[in-house]
Structure 1
């Protein structure tokens, strides 16, 4: 098979297409002929040597989400058949013509979705559902703020939160990005390059915040959260270390949490897959969720896809076509 390999840590041009051996599925795995693969910021971090693959995962081929056709099943797999069209969360190896994945980490491609659209779903849907709804306990009638509203995570969080009857706030870095957030269902979107979101949202009822920025955003988040609010981290792009006012946390009874997904064990991911199948996939199948694809590149141009990701001008997802 052909695959994109990280030949060394560095700039996007270290991503090279190479011929690799076809992967063989274990007894509880399936092999997927990949038709499309999502591009995510953790892929960029891995390319730079800042996000190593977990033990046992493919380490030199990036890619955390794919869509394609099952062409081989392990001896213990009963829920899938050869020829099924699926999307899947993988721990690595997605930028390739073939990938193996635990059968319990696959989902049927939603009705009417293309392979490209389906490949844009797993990494962001799994991350948002686990962090916003399971850890953050967001529920109907509450207020929710997502930073980076036009990112893949952001467009997913906005739509899922809105579908649950939540008032949605977002931040984004341009008027064009803010318009995209509003079009997806955000009630208010703040251009953080022009306005201070803390001042704009002061007085609003915000119960849950999903943050991937960190740094100076930490105290601002604490200041605007309502009592019993939940602050959830999935990244800290502007700084891991912050000052913490313990008394403010106590006074408002704020919960601060966060998680990473890639290194979780297969049983956790299987349970999360089942939860998403029950709670999220009906929204997909009824087209109450709109995949937002910014650009599609052929597999051989993965480096260009990473360049676009790092420019930060995209709205929605970047996908590789593996036809």
Structure 2
């Protein structure tokens, strides 16, 4: 399946994810809940509905389908990782973090509501993700559900996304340390693998867990996902330099102003493009053991490299 085939699958996943999120974020209290405060729920819906490519849920679905698994399990795992991704964006946009006013072409949650509501919305989205994974509707086997929970928790936590965000802020000199311009390329790659790559890797890994993939298959998919995650961030850095805010859906040109650690800042635009091509090739090579069955995942790698350009 070519890249256009993956984009068709991405669009289908986006529709299914949007519909499922709409139900998940309904006003009715779930079992064990008391009441869902309207303002908090509206902030969560503002963060999660009406935008986003839903790449992470599509990766979960594509990886699970590689092992013949489809349906509600991959959809719910995709919802969980999308909730964590959404929470991270809400918090990253806060004045104490990246201080952004625009996300997916709309006001960020702290601008549409207020900072306190945005913090609570992010908190609630994070906990909702694990609520979804713990539910038997995600998988009948408790061991599978525990593996999904552990994978997402580690990707999102101190050794993953949250830790990467801290390193990113430190690289800006927020805590009295050095500036990003002094960082070695290896350190930038590590920071980005944690902040951005970890959730993308977890998406693929969660699909493999649902498919009960054997160790060799999981090793190959891990190599694919690592390359994909790195490629995604390089492409994102290039978009910040070359993209228009109306196309990208958020403010551009902020990385250099903030002194952020990026591969573009170290290698320049052309050097970053070459690295992006290499990472894309690495991702495609890692899928060789799966043959034609992995074509959707190949399409995902090509899509990541070429998105919005």
Fold match by TM threshold 0.5 = no
TM (norm. structure 2) is 0.26
**The structure with more helix, counted as a fraction of residues:** 2
Between 1 and 2, higher relative CO (CA 8 Å, sep ≥ 6) is seen in: 2
**The structure with more strand, counted as a fraction of residues:** 1
